[in-house]
A and B are shown apart, each in its own frame.
Chain A
Amino acid sequence: MSQQDMALMAHLLRRAGFGATRQELEGYLARGYEATVEALLHPGDAQSIPDDVIRRYHTDMAEMRELYSVAAYWMYRMVTTRCPLEEKLALFWHGLFATGYSKLNQARSLLNQIEMFRRQALGPLPEFLLELSKDPAMIIWLDNNDNHKGAINENYGRELLELFSMGIGNYTEDDVKECARAFTGWTLGNAEYMATRASKDSIWPYSRIAWHFDYRDYDHDDTEKTFLGETGNFNGEDIIKIIAKQAATARFISTRLFQFFAADEVDADGEQVIESMRQTYFDSGYETRAVLRTLFNSDYFKSDKARFARVKGPIELVVGAVRMAGSYQRPTFGVDQLARQSFYMGQGLLQPPSVEGWHEGAEWIDSGALVERVNFVSKEMGNVMNPGVRSIIDRLAAESGGRLTSEALVDRCLDLIGPLELADTTREILVEFANKQGDVNLEGHQPGDDAEQKVGDLLRLMTATREFQLV
């Protein structure tokens, strides 16, 4: 097991999950890279603690009609899951098929949508798009309940093509209309009442009632349509079949997956990887699992080009920091605060600003968000009582008899929290800081003592670097 292997595995887990502790990485390394990729692509039992137990202890997560309850519930899943890719993908799809609480006023429907994302995340795209078209939250969000035979509402039809599958420029305005016509009648039970309730945000008189998909055949436009050059009496399922086989769909989905999992910017080498992902998309019967396998096993993904080539989104930052610090392993109050923290940083779970999702990459960063980001991680990693931090301290104490020079301390810490790559200048400043603190002697260290505090402050600074804002 070499340093390069460790760095590569850490990179994989940062991208396919929310990062991993040194202990977790050692476990993955024992299995090997390809085997770990396969394990990630086949999520099994994600929960170490069953849902009903969580909700019994966390009454703040039990109110499934409320935004921050559900956000807390999902945050907790992300923080504690044993199947990180499943949650990371749910987050990816949430950013792509972006549906926001503001118009729904009913968090349960969003939770159902996220659970559907988990089920469909790695499977064939047409199946996913079909579930999406029947998802009540999506129907209300994009007004498909207002899409009637003879009086179409184009919103869902348009966004399905523009933002969810093919991308602008690959279809005509007529295609949008035909698409909308095909989805007429795809609504929810008691739609008019439910939609009014959503917009009035009222719990009177019967509180919030769960939504379910309903197909109104009498409201469905049952006539011939011409969509992307094909003609027939298309219903929604047929439209999705046609969409799935388009080259534009392969390109769009592959590109979005690449940008989320590989690099914010797509260069010439990136284009080549996307090309191979597109090929896999068709060869595999449109399966996301296969496409991601191609990506994770590609030379590009494993190379330096992909290393730290993305800016961490706020949720990635929060969940990653909490997983590393180990501060929320057991049911603890305050998980809704995590959801609020990422909201303060500019990414509110279940609250994408619009159907376009979030603007990622460097756009996550502004001076206000940076203060929140730095302060949050500093509070987690500078707290020497957090289990994850104690693990790091214990490992340091076990090396060189617990006596570490500034240089060694900096390098060991950078390794154990990552490995994290820093510019030489940044590293020098950290060494200078450690020198100012004085050499650290962890022999016989006691919880919270001076030596530990010095390690904590170094970790604090290390995770405040600009390099740490990248993933």
Chain B
Amino acid sequence: MPSEKKRALVVIQLAGANDALNTIVPYTNGLYYDFRPHISIPADDVLTINDELGFNPNLAPIKALWDLGKVAIINGIGYPNPDRSHFRSMDIWHTAEPAAVGKEGWLGQVIRELDPNGDNVLTGVNFGRGLPRSLALRGVPVASVGNLATYGLFPEVDDTARKQNVLEAFGKMYGSDMKDEVLTFLGQNGRDALHGADILRTAPEQYTSTVAYPNSPIATNLKSVAQVMFAELGTQVYYTTYGSFDTHGGELIAHTNLWQEVSGAVSAFYQDLEEHGWENDATVLIWTEFGRRIRDNGTGTDHGSGGSAFVIGGAVHGGLYGEYPSLKPEDQLEGDLHFNNDFRSTYSTLVERWFGLEPAPIVHGHFEQFDFLTA
């Protein structure tokens, strides 16, 4: 199969609502310490960005990428009338529809625009079970891979000879068109599934790398992304979810672990990109469904709004984007950080400036774009 190096977007969803205030810390702002007597990050521990903001120390590997100019931080990201329900807010981000219950995943639409004829069943690949709503669009096939090494049909049949026979029979059974439209349609899907699994299975076999990924589920998934990416199967949209970031309690411990894992994974992934010459062809978006309350609840934080997103990659113009929301009570939105840029601006930037597609139909409107991409 001819190799296809096409630029790719890697989307990491931090599920459960990451606490922006403890991720990008306003370490010189007295209000931060006033509102968070129990869970603030000490100013001395912060990895400074400038004389107002700094990284939570557990993001050290990402700070290293920041120092190389590869990290764009979009502060104050959100949407009008923030919803503090996990499911609802996630749906809003997935479908780019804050005002109504949306039906089409934005990434599903991106995949359709990238591959209108559906020539490549692997244009979009999700690492995780089930299909995230971002990717869901009628007629757009997306492989959802729980475990790349064992992905495919009949994974519990471990005897190679038996499996061979079973897969062969499956392929034949789905091989022909039939008089009935629905059965023919099923046949096509079965062939696509088998084909996709056959191709994906070759990716780990071809992979060589000196990069040692940490031992965490997010790192494993990003390594799988790398394996598929370097096999040049034509995949352009990768997706994976990690969590839960829903730190209502015990935040300092949980948040520390989570970010150590995410940063370690992202750093290893970036190194792998560089080793294989992919760093300018892959861009990572890290998003979460909302930020958390400014005031802590004793050991953690409750749902809030207005968070931070990250865009990381060789083609990224590193820096701070959006405004860091004010903590002053008069500037807050019902006790939360007031968003100042719509997430659809970030989406539009990626859709148009990364993929060269028309963003308006995908995000249902025109939104001012950022300059966080150099390419």
Contacts and interface: CB of A to CB of B under 8 A. Distances in A.
Interface of A: 101-103, 105, 198-202, 204, 264, 311, 340, 343-344, 346, 351, 353-355, 359, 361-363, 365-372, 374-375, 378-379, 382, 423, 425-426, 429-430, 432-433, 436-437, 457, 460-461, 464-467, 469-470
Contact of B88 (A199, A344, A382): A199
A368 B154 contact: no
Nearest to B188: A367
9 contacts: A102-B87, A344-B131, A366-B140, A371-B197, A378-B154, A423-B183, A432-B169, A461-B166, A461-B170
Contacts of A354: 101, 103
Contact of A200 (B84, B182, B193): B84
Interface of B: 83-88, 91, 101, 103, 121, 129-131, 133, 138-144, 152-157, 162, 165-166, 169-170, 172-174, 176, 178, 181-183, 185-187, 189-190, 192-193, 196-197, 297, 302-303
Nearest to B87: A102
Contact of B302 (A198, A204, A425, A461): A204
A448 B176 CA distance: 34
Contacts of B88: 102-103, 199, 201
Contacts of B153: 371, 374-375, 378, 464
Shortest 3 CB-CB contacts between residues of A and residues of B: A102-B87, A466-B186, A344-B130
Contacts of A369: 131
Contact of B169 (A101, A355, A433): A433
B154 A465 contact: no
A365 B303 contact: no
Contacts of A371: 143-144, 152-153, 193, 197
Contacts of B174: 466
A144 B197 CA distance: 47
A344 B129 contact: yes
Contacts of A202: 84, 302-303
A366 B189 contact: yes
Contacts of B139: 366
Contacts of A311: 182
Nearest to A346: B131
Nearest to B171: A429
Consensus secondary structure, chain A interface: helix
Given A367-B196, A433-B169, A466-B190, A204 B297 contact: yes
A199 B141 contact: no
A370 B154 contact: no
A311 B184 CA distance: 13
Nearest to A374: B153
Nearest to A351: B87
A353 B103 contact: yes
A370 B91 CA distance: 24
Contact of A370 (B85, B189, B297): B189
Given A430-B169, A460-B166, A370 B176 contact: no
Nearest to A363: B138
Contacts of B196: 367
Given A375-B155, A457-B166, A367 B131 contact: no
B183 A467 contact: yes
Given A346-B131, A362-B185, A368 B144 contact: yes
A340 B172 CA distance: 30
Contacts of B86: 105, 201
B91 to A, nearest CB: 6
B343 to A, nearest CB: 18
A195 to B, nearest CB: 11
Nearest to B86: A201
Contacts of A464: 153-154, 170, 173
Contact of B193 (A340, A367, A425, A433): A367
Contact of B190 (A344, A370, A430, A436): A370
A375 B85 contact: no
A430 B174 CA distance: 12
A461 B190 CA distance: 13
B190 A460 contact: no
A202 to B, nearest CB: 6
A366 to B, nearest CB: 5
B186 A105 contact: no
A273 to B, nearest CB: 20
A362 B130 contact: no
Nearest to A467: B183
A129 to B, nearest CB: 22
B290 to A, nearest CB: 10
Contact of B121 (A346, A353, A367): A367
Contact of A466 (B142, B183, B192): B183
Contact of A199 (B84, B130, B138): B84
Nearest to A101: B87
B173 A465 contact: yes
B189 A367 contact: yes
B26 to A, nearest CB: 24
Contacts of A362: 181-182, 185
Contacts of B170: 374, 461, 464
B334 to A, nearest CB: 9
Nearest to A365: B189
Contacts of B297: 204
A362 to B, nearest CB: 5
Contacts of A346: 131
A105 B129 CA distance: 22
Contacts of B140: 366
Contacts of B192: 367
B18 to A, nearest CB: 16
Contacts of A199: 83-85, 88
A242 B224 CA distance: 59
Contacts of B101: 353-355
Contacts of A105: 85-87
A198 B83 CA distance: 10
B166 A429 contact: no
A365 B193 contact: no
Residue among B141, B142, B189 with most chain A CB within 10 A: B189
A460 B91 CA distance: 36
B131 A429 contact: no
B166 A201 contact: no
A292 B32 CA distance: 63
A355 B192 CA distance: 31
A66 to B, nearest CB: 12
A378 B162 CA distance: 14
Residue with the greatest number of chain B CB neighbours at <10 A, chosen from A101, A344, A370, A467: A370
Contacts of A466: 173-174, 183, 186-187, 190
B361 to A, nearest CB: 19
Given A344-B130, A368-B193, 18 more contacts: A103-B87, A105-B86, A200-B302, A201-B303, A340-B130, A346-B131, A351-B87, A355-B101, A359-B138, A372-B144, A429-B169, A432-B169, A436-B165, A464-B153, A466-B174, A467-B183, A469-B186, A470-B182
A363 B189 CA distance: 12
A383 to B, nearest CB: 8
